Amino acid sequence: MTTAAGGAEQGSSALAELRRPIAPMTRLGVLLGGIGALTTLAPFVGIAELGRTLLAPGPLDATRVAWTAVVIAVGTVLGWSCTGAALWITHLADGRMQAELRRRLVRKLGEVGLGWYSETNSGRVRKAAQDDVDDLHHLIAHHDVELAGAVVLPLGGLAYLLWVDWRLALLALATLPIYFVAYGFMMRGFADKMREMDSGFARVSAAIAEFVHGIAVVKSFGQTGRAHAGYRRAVDEFGERYAGWVRPVLRLEALTSMALSVPVIALVGVAGGTWFVQRGWVTPIDVLAEVLVAVVLPSTLLTLNQGFTAQRKAVAAAERLSGLLSAPALPVAAEPRSPQGNLVEFDGVEFGYAADEPVLRGVDLTCRPGTVTALVGPSGAGKSTLAKLLPRFYDVTGGAIRLGGVDVREIAPAELYRHVGFVLQDVQLLHGTVADNLRLGRPAATERELVAAAEATRIHERITRLPRGYESVIGEDAVLSGGEAQRVSIARALLADTPVLVLDEATAYADPESEAEIQEALSAVARGRTVLVIAHRLSTITDVDRIVVVDRGRVAEQGTHAELLAADGRYARMWAEHESTTDSTAGAPDGGGAAR
């Protein structure tokens, strides 16, 4: 309970901070909204006063009738105008806040380290940038104005009835206690019930995801019925719990909501008012005024209830947005320096993720310009982490990485990425033409340069076979395999023409022939460029300038392919295992034929 209260308080504080820049506009909107709500009483009060004038004994007071009609008309127009102006101002405030929020989000997404994207679920970023910002819309643009009206309108109406006769004010509130008692009963344990519902819905979602992701395996083994069982079980449990909670609540709400219905309120008002008239406390016109005002009050309760729901959603959204905006930015040197050359040096590099055990320990490595250095080693040895430290996905926790004699932490991020390009195994192509995706590396690139980069990565012929060639749109008329998409991303990196290129298992989705072609292309363009590459297939890196074996976060061996084989160490054993696997794979067709 304490944690929930603390989270709500934190969310409210975050929401207040987000609203601070537009607070003056919001206050003006609330003021106008309150005036607009108050003036909506004018027609009801005017009708009662008009009836009082018309039924008064003696000659008709035409002047009073005319002035009453004018007041009703002016009050109605003023109410509409104030309410319209209030909503216009709050919508303008909402637009400004959303624009500023999105600008801040874009700035923050540009400031955080690249490693933050690896650790952060993309759905979280999308929800914050789109859904959470939208969740603030109703609160800012509507809720404050509606809340002002929901408070001012009943207070104004009750004040008028108190002025007429205090007993009429009590009569107007006669049915409200019934609803409040029932509402309190219905909301008992609401938070616990919602947690149960969320948990049940999460199980349903997990069952759906499990079934969909494994549908191919399930169907191939003829286990569709059994696979459905988990989903049916989760849905049935959720349905039973939901129905068990909602059924009595809905039954009670259907009965108690009658207490706020216009016929019931009017009936109570007329019955009570008749008794008041018989006792001589009020006049029939006073009863008419009470009924007209009383029937307006229930609508304010519905507005308040909807407002509280919007408030809860907005508080949760603000907390998530605040968490995203407070993500630590990549440290930037106060006086950045420019690298002198393309020499890459790892000097006693150490690194660990948060409180985990160190992933890298005392790594010393030099990558010289115009050479290709390959990192190999078992899974989890630290190869990818080492490669990601150079473009500052993360900062080292010990030692230093220098580019052109300058610590990468002292180079401005924009300049660092003009010197260091990288291609990861998780390919990201944008929804746009193939040419647009290639030009992300260099927007001003000519068509000839696009073709040259595509040819270097052996993807040009595949692009020309697309319906519109380089103008084909990814995901529409350009459907590429994993290996083809990877070659497009490598071509994009080559087109950027960075003097240093990091390839983190960039050929993971390519077949052996394509991988060999890519590696040959990379070797051909490595002249004057520093290339750091990670590859699982040892046969594709036998011709690189230096092979570095990483094991348990340390450099176990380094040298050329021939030198490492002659050393008969870790690399030699890996090579023997690789050849043995290759030989067994080569014999697979015969076995496959026998099986068929």
Closest to 492 in 3D by CA, of 543, 546, 551, 427: 427
**Least confident range of 60-74, 125-139, 264-278:** 125-139
Does one domain contain both 56 and 102? yes
Q: Tell me, yes or no, whether 531 and 490 share the same domain.
A: yes
What pLDDT, on the 0 to 100 scale, is given for residue 410?
92
566 shares a domain with 503: yes
Question: How many of the other CB atoms lie within 10 Å of CB of 297?
Answer: 19
Within-domain flag for 275? no
Q: How confident is the model at residue 365 (pLDDT cuts 50, 70, 90)?
A: very high
pLDDT, mean over the chain? 78
Alpha-carbon distance of 204 to 209, in angstroms, equals 9
Question: 438 and 509, same structural domain?
Answer: yes
Give the end-to-end CA distance of the chain in Å, rounded to a whole number. 64
pLDDT at 456: 81
- Mean pLDDT across 72-85: 87
Q: Is residue 47 part of a domain?
A: yes
What DSSP letter does each residue of 5-39 carry, written as one string?
HHHHHHHHHHHHHHHGGGHHHHHHHHHHHHHHHHH
CA distance linking residue 237 with residue 232, whole number of Å: 8
Q: Which domain holds residue 106?
A: 1-164+299-330
Is residue 524 within 8 A of residue 456, CB to CB? The reply is yes
pLDDT (mean) for 287-292: 82
**What percent of the chain clears pLDDT 90, i.e. is strictly above it?**
8
Judge whether 174 lies within some domain: no
What span, in angstroms and rounded, lies between the C-alpha atoms of 294 and 304? 17
**What integer is the mean pLDDT of 142-170?**
84
Domain-embedded: residue 202: no
pLDDT at 592: 38
Query: Are 25 and 93 spatial neighbours (Cβ–Cβ below 8 Å)?
Result: yes
Q: How confident is the model at residue 403 (pLDDT cuts 50, 70, 90)?
A: very high
Number of separate domains in the chain: 2
The pLDDT of 508-522, averaged and rounded, is 60
E-assigned strand segments in 323-405 = 344-351, 360-367, 372-376, 398-403
**What mean pLDDT is predicted for residues 203-220?**
58
Which phi and psi angles does 439 have, rounded to 5°? -75, -5
Residue 238 lies in a domain: no
Helix (H) or strand (E) run with residue 548 in it: strand 546-551
pLDDT band, residue 347 (cuts 50/70/90) = very high
326 and 413 housed in the same domain = no
**Residue 184: pLDDT above 80?**
no
Measure the CA–CA gap between 374 and 350, rounded to whole angstroms.
Answer: 19
User: What's the pLDDT at 355?
Assistant: 61
Q: In this structure, are 314 and 363 located in the same domain?
A: no
Mean pLDDT, residues 152-164 taken together:
85
Residues 448, 309 share a domain: no
User: How far apart (Å, rounded) are the C-alpha atoms in residues 117 and 388?
Assistant: 12
Q: Which residue has the higher pLDDT, 393 or 207?
A: 393
Domain for residue 87, yes or no?
yes
The tally of CA atoms less than 13 A away on the side-chain side of residue 120 is 20
Mean pLDDT of 83-102: 89
Last residue in a domain, options 330, 353, 370? 330
Q: Residue 48: is its pLDDT beyond 60?
A: yes
Closest by CA to 294, choosing from 118, 156, 172, 174, is 172
Residue 14's CATH number: 1.20.1560.10
The predicted pLDDT at position 591 comes to: 38
* pLDDT tens column, 7-26: 456 657 777 777 888 888 98
Query: Does 227 fall in a domain?
Result: no
567 and 483, same structural domain?
yes
Read off the pTM. 0.62
Q: Based on the domain organization, do 311 and 405 belong to the same domain?
A: no
Q: What is the mean pLDDT of residues 67-91?
A: 87
What pLDDT score was predicted for residue 23? 85
- Average pLDDT on 283-296 reads 82
| 258 in any annotated domain | no
| Cα–Cα dist 496/408, whole Å | 19
Q: DSSP alpha helices (H): ranges in 139-175?
A: 144-164, 166-172
Is there a single domain that holds both residue 396 and residue 311?
Answer: no
Say whether both 322 and 417 belong to one domain. Answer: no
Percent of the chain past pLDDT 70, that is, above it, reads 75
Q: Which of 190-199, 312-321, 411-420 has the lowest mean pLDDT?
A: 190-199
Q: Are residue 560 and residue 427 in the same domain, yes or no? A: yes
Provide the pLDDT for residue 113: 72
Which CATH number covers residue 429?
Answer: 3.40.50.300
